[in-house]
Structure 1
Amino acid sequence: MTYRDLLAPMAAAAREAGQLLLTTPRPERATSFEEFAEAFEAAEAPGAAVLRRRLEELRPGVEWADELDVLAGPPTVGEVWVVDVLDGAVQFLQGLPQFCVSLALVRDGEPVAAALHSPLLGETYLAARGDGATRDGRPIAPSAKTDPAAAVVTTGHPPFVARQPEAAAQAGRSFAAVLPAVAAVRSLGPTTWQIADTAAGRLDGFWEFGRDAANLLPGALIAREAGAVVSDTEGNPWTAGSGSFLAAPAGLHGRLLDALHGR
């Protein structure tokens, strides 16, 4: 089975899990971290069971790595599923609409197939290495903008960013540097979905500081396959071990690198 052949069943699995999220009653808003964690686990569990079953049928024996432990060390040899059943859990639990199901097959540390599904939007992004990227079956491409002053860009941060204090500091400095150079800076929910929307031209760039492989791998593949430039914030090719991330159209990428460095 080729990576392209995986996309349809991956999409079906993501949609099934997404439908379960829609039918899961949202809990009362948590007032402590412990309550938040309990609410998240309860919301995620039905979809996780579906995805474990579907992905095992699709790729028997391939291990599953969740959002917080994926690729924490050296690149994994062979294949691993990178799964976030509820990407955007904060928004989901706060009653906000920006959340999605995120799946990627990673081989030797590189994403080779990805599926993102937004249950509320009813949209699905798909990409396979060497085969392009689509939204709802139609090819996508990044924005044609070249002027940062016309660009709407987005940013985010890794989960539990306090564990990466330098990343938090860099995020603050970069926001102050980029804001005067662009039309607007926003943070619009799940990292993966923001990168995919950049790949599709809805947004004009996404950057982040810190190590956040699980949230970046699916979007990185979609962006590359759509024709966006994906790098770290020094302009080097992005890998799962990189400490920063930038995805942007070719006509804006260099200008956004300059903005990030205050040039």
Structure 2
Amino acid sequence: MSNAALLPPMVQAARTVGSWLAERDRPRPARTMAGFRDVFDAVDAPAAALLRERLDTLRPGVPWADGLYSRPLPDGEWWVVDVMDGAVQYLQGLPHWCVSLTLVQDREPVAAVLHSPVLEETYTAARGHGAHRGGAPISPSAKQDLAVTLLATSQPPFTAAQPWAAAAAGHSLSALLPLAGAIRNFGPTSWQIADTASGRIDAFWQYGRDDENLLGAALIAREAGALVTDASGAAWEAGSDSFLAAPRALYQQILAPLAGHR
């Protein structure tokens, strides 16, 4: 089955899991980290099992990549999945979360689906076949002046394990705040990048290694026509320690203030 042909059943799998998550009663917010882990696992484990069952049928024998925050993605074919990208928001009863699933071959994303049950919207992309939302092609912002832009940024999970990323995030925010029209964090990371690919957000950047949230979104942004690099201008790839997605007309205006904030 081609990568493009994988998208419809991937969409169906994401919608099934998204509906399950959206329809269940949200637990009360945890008061301690131990409590948060318990609450998270009680939701994440059955949702992941539901999705795994569908993906295993779709692509038998392809393993899931876990723990990408602490180890590099190996070569070969892998599913990179986040059943709740935006888990903190989901568990807080907020609408900003989505289901994310990506097929990766030799560290390159080849098919990606993001589904938001709350918005009832789905982003899709397959390598060489463009990017879409709800079946319609998408493209990045056409703005040319940084002063009228809406930029977005975020941080990887477990930022304490990447203290340099936290410092760079602060420096970069200080550098861009005076230049941009507005800067927000709409989290989840993957959905913000997809919204950048479709022009709802004008550009997105982040510091820190975050392959789980970035691989599928990077494919969507590239296929839509956005430039996708790290914050120094090098091509972004799995394992990169920063990320930038922007339309060509804005790219250099955003890259220049980011340079050196590593």
> What TM-score, normalized to structure 2?
0.97
Instruction: Please list the CA deviations of residues 100-142 of structure 1 after superposition, one character each: whole Å capped at 9, or x if unmatched.
Output: 0000001100100000000100000000000000000000000
Instruction: Please list the CA deviations of residues 204-259 of structure 1 after superposition, one character each: whole Å capped at 9, or x if unmatched.
Output: 00000011111110100000000000000011100111110000011111110012
Amino acid at match of 2:34: E
Aligned counterpart, 1:175: 173
Deviation at 1:74, TM superposition (A): 4.6
State whether residues 210 and 244 of structure 1, in contact with CA within 8 Å, keep that contact through their aligned partners in structure 2.
yes
Aligned counterpart, 1:144: 142
Aligned counterpart, 1:34: 34
Amino acid at match of 1:30: A
Aligned counterpart, 1:20: 20
| Counterpart Cα distance in 1 of 2:7 and 2:235 | 25
State whether residues 71 and 213 of structure 1, in contact with CA within 8 Å, keep that contact through their aligned partners in structure 2.
yes
Counterpart among 244, 251, 254 of residue 252 in structure 2 = 254
Aligned counterpart, 2:78: 80
| Counterpart Cα distance in 2 of 1:180 and 1:232 | 22
Aligned counterpart, 1:164: 162
Deviation at 1:22, TM superposition (A): 0.9
State whether residues 85 and 188 of structure 2, in contact with CA within 8 Å, keep that contact through their aligned partners in structure 1.
yes
Amino acid at match of 1:236: A
| Counterpart Cα distance in 2 of 1:172 and 1:5 | 42
What does 1:31-180 align with in structure 2 at a 5 Å threshold? 31-66=31-66, 69-70=67-68, 72-180=70-178
Instruction: Please list the CA deviations of residues 170-216 of structure 1 after superposition, one character each: whole Å capped at 9, or x if unmatched.
Output: 00000000100100000001100000000000000000001111111
| Counterpart Cα distance in 2 of 1:36 and 1:24 | 17
Structure 2 gap segments, 5+ residues each: none
| Counterpart Cα distance in 1 of 2:117 and 2:57 | 23
Structure 1 gap segments, 5+ residues each: none
Instruction: Please list the CA deviations of residues 20-65 of structure 1 after superposition, one character each: whole Å capped at 9, or x if unmatched.
Output: 0011211111111111111111122332111111100111000012
Deviation at 1:71, TM superposition (A): 7.6
Amino acid at match of 1:7: L
| Counterpart Cα distance in 2 of 1:86 and 1:143 | 27
- Is the partner of 1:192 in helix, strand or coil? helix
Q: Structure 1 residues 74, 188: closer, same or farther in 2, change over 3 A?
A: closer
Deviation at 1:70, TM superposition (A): 2.7
Aligned counterpart, 1:242: 240
- Is the partner of 2:174 in helix, strand or coil? helix
- Across the aligned residues of Structure 1 and Structure 2, the Cα RMSD in angstroms comes to 1.4
State whether residues 197 and 220 of structure 2, in contact with CA within 8 Å, keep that contact through their aligned partners in structure 1.
yes
Q: Structure 1 residues 235, 168: closer, same or farther in 2, change over 3 A?
A: same
